Amino acid sequence: MKRSKAILYLVLAATLWSLAGILIKMVQWNPLAIAGARSAISALVIWAFVRKPNFTWKLDQILAALFYAATVLLFVCANKFTTAANAILLQYGSPVYIAIFGSLILKEKTKISDWITIGLVIFGMFLFFVDKLEPTSLMGNFMGVLSGIAFAFLIIFLRKQKDASPIESTILGNILTALIGLPFMFKSVPDITSWIGIILLGVFQLGLSYIFYSIAIKYVTALEAVLVSVIEPILNPIWVFLFVGERPTMWAFFGGSVILISVTLRYALPSVRNRSTKSV
């Protein structure tokens, strides 16, 4: 697979992830029950795609599965105890963690252009949510930070399986998340609208997205895998605007522009330049 196609898969994965906000609003249920049910459906979708998963039970596969479950559960809990803006902003501190630990674990060098992009992305994220940030629960903010760390290590250990098949880790992670959320599913019964939301979350927002992501992670660096994915929080308010009518603020527009421009300049232009060089 070409690197440009892998980048496209990352964009598709992030686009599907961004549907979480609008779909979760459809579901009236316990947050951990939502996380568990959507992961149960996602596990079935990914398993059907793989058909015959190869569970090696090697350390990298298990660690990726554990960090997957931690990412999903911590993010749900962070949204419960702090604002959604705080939760997503704190989770997307993950490029910094990958830049530090990825070079140690994966031996993938972080270039100066990568650090500049990281700085611009974090600055853009801050602008994006500047009018929504609130000094809310310390516990919720702490969970948001932990979610970002877990997300970083998930990407690192998926990337470590680039010569194998990282997608099995997502199946195991979904199964673990479903088991953890199972006790909370029996406390109430969702209505029809909620079930539609849960099915869409499981099939598309989590299942199909991680199929794209697991394929792409084999052909890009861990840092690329997370930096391209920051389009997720930008798209989220776009769906809210289209379906709910809530307009993004001026700060959100500027912040989103900074993120999109910086990521595009870092990853799209070198690809175009390489094609031009080859054609000469």
Give the total number of structural domains in the chain.
1
User: How many CB atoms within 10 Å of residue 15?
Assistant: 18
Contact 44, 94 (CB under 8 A): no
Residue 120 domain boundaries: 3-279
pTM: 0.83
158-179, pLDDT tens digit by residue? Answer: 999 988 899 999 999 999 999 9
pLDDT tens by residue, 45-62: 999 999 999 999 999 999
What is the C-alpha to C-alpha distance for residues 88 and 176, in angstroms, rounded to an integer?
23
Q: Identify the pLDDT of residue 85.
A: 64
Say if CB 54 and CB 212 are below 8 A apart.
no
Q: Are 190 and 30 in contact (CB under 8 A)?
A: no
The token duo for 184 is 């909370």
Specify whether the CB–CB gap between 122 and 96 falls below 8 A. Answer: yes
CA distance 26 to 244: 12
pLDDT at 280: 44
- Environment class of residue 168 by beta-carbon count within 10 Å: exposed (0-12), middle (13-18) or buried (19+)? buried
